[in-house]
Amino acid sequence: QVQLVESGGGLVQAGGSLRLSCAASGRIFNEYAMGWFRQAPGKERNFVSGIGWRSGITYYTESVKGRFMISRDNANNTVYLQMNSLKPEDTAVYYCAANLRCSGNGCSPYYGMDAWGKGTLVTVSS
């Protein structure tokens, strides 16, 4: 039911910045979270950042703390990921996700209700 469309990926040099956007349509459950995961070639999909849709509480994986910032526009059902000081190891396909469950350790899909975008590629060159 929920459809997510990511945008903002592209090529950037190390140390540069990029802003990802995710526009959602359909029902968003306010008691859950939205966020971002990423997957590098040959690697597992890993949590990057999340934000409680109602609370606004933010969550980050350790490797992006201090560099990435997640935000949301509830009125427009949009979530953003501002990525600064990008590193080559940030290179991955970034996926927007909805209806996540979050705690101090990060976020994970609420299986059966989770929704995913098709991904947007971020490439950081040295």
Q: pLDDT tens digit string along 61-89?
A: 999 999 999 999 988 889 999 999 999 99
* Model pLDDT for residues 16-61, shown as the tens digit of each residue: 999 999 999 987 777 889 999 999 999 999 999 999 999 999 999 9
Location of structure tokens 């209700």? 113
pLDDT of amino acid 16: 98
98 band by pLDDT with thresholds 50, 70 and 90: very high
What does the longest C-alpha to C-alpha distance in the chain come to?
40
Predicted confidence at residue 28, as pLDDT, reads 73
DSSP string, the chain: --EEEEE--EEEETT--EEEEEEEES---TTSEEEEEEE-TTS--EEEEEEETTT--EEE-GGGTTTEEEEEEGGGTEEEEEE-S--GGG-EEEEEEEEEEEETTEEEE-TTT-EE---EEEEEE-
pLDDT of residue 105: 84
